[in-house]
Amino acid sequence: MSQRPGPDVLDNTPWWLPEVTTSGGGDGLVVVRCSAYETANGQGPRHLEGGFYGLESLGPHVWICTARSDGRFRMSCRCGHRGQPQDLCNGHVAMIRKRASGVCPPCVHPPAERELQEKMERIRKRPELYTGPPDEIDRARRKAVSELWDIQHAVDELVARGIVHRCQLELREVS
């Protein structure tokens, strides 16, 4: 039995940005490393986009940052969602504030929307859409398309009611 190879580990330390330190703190000084990719204590990422995507969506690469942490930060939105505190280097703070804080995952993917997305995914994975006599496959696909449009209308209604909405995230330093 052959084992699937592990993911590639790629270094995405923003060494090109000013004030990013990759060296240690000297003899006897414990240095906390940046956990921009949720790799604190070797855990690796728990999820993607607030849990909307599983780790199978990560692809063949695992990203790490080897820079020294310059502070502890937490993401939050105006609706009150708060992420876990993370140790971040100045480079990742700048990168997150510039481009990774455009939307709060719990606001754009609340439980009601995630449930509908899961229903859509179950429909797309039905075996009868891919196997069987051509006329039965065609009939199953027409039925699935109709069901998917009904679910899409339900998602649109969640957006219209403001249940699904876009909140900007703010990254703040915490003690």
Asked whether the predicted pLDDT for residue 23 surpasses 80, the reply is: no
Residues 50 and 65 in one domain: yes
Residue 118 lies in a domain: yes
Residue 66 lies in a domain: yes
Q: What pLDDT, in 10s, does the model give residues 96-125?
A: 888 777 788 889 889 999 999 999 999 999
Q: Given this model, what pLDDT does residue 155 score?
A: 96
Residues 85 and 41 in one domain: yes
Residues 96 and 133 in one domain: no
Residues 121 and 78 in one domain: no
Residues 16 and 61 in one domain: yes
Residues 136 and 91 in one domain: no
For residues 127-136, give the mean pLDDT.
95
Residue 85 lies in a domain: yes
Q: What pLDDT, in 10s, does the model give residues 43-79?
A: 445 555 555 666 666 667 677 788 888 899 998 999 9
Of 17, 166, 32, nearest to 102 (Cα)? 166
Structure tokens at 3: 């084992």
Q: Given this model, what pLDDT does residue 175 score?
A: 73
pTM more than 0.75: no
Residue 114: give the domain boundaries.
Answer: 108-160
Q: What pLDDT, in 10s, does the model give residues 143-153?
A: 999 999 999 99
Residue 3 lies in a domain: no
Residue 2 lies in a domain: no
Residues 112 and 96 in one domain: no
Q: Given this model, what pLDDT does residue 84 score?
A: 82
Residue 1 lies in a domain: no
Residues 75 and 24 in one domain: yes
**Whole-number Å distance between alpha carbons of 70 and 15:** 14
Identity of the amino acid at 168 = Q
Residues 46 and 85 in one domain: yes
Q: Domain tally for the chain?
A: 2
Angle, helices 134-160/111-124, rounded to nearest 10 degrees: 170
Residues 34 and 56 in one domain: yes
Residues 66 and 12 in one domain: yes
CA dihedral of residues 88, 89, 95, 97 (deg, nearest 10): 50
CB 121 within 8 A of CB 52: no
Residue 84 lies in a domain: yes
Residues 152 and 84 in one domain: no
> Tokens 């995507």 map to which residue?
53
Q: Given this model, what pLDDT does residue 67 score?
A: 85
**Whole-number Å distance between alpha carbons of 99 and 27:** 36
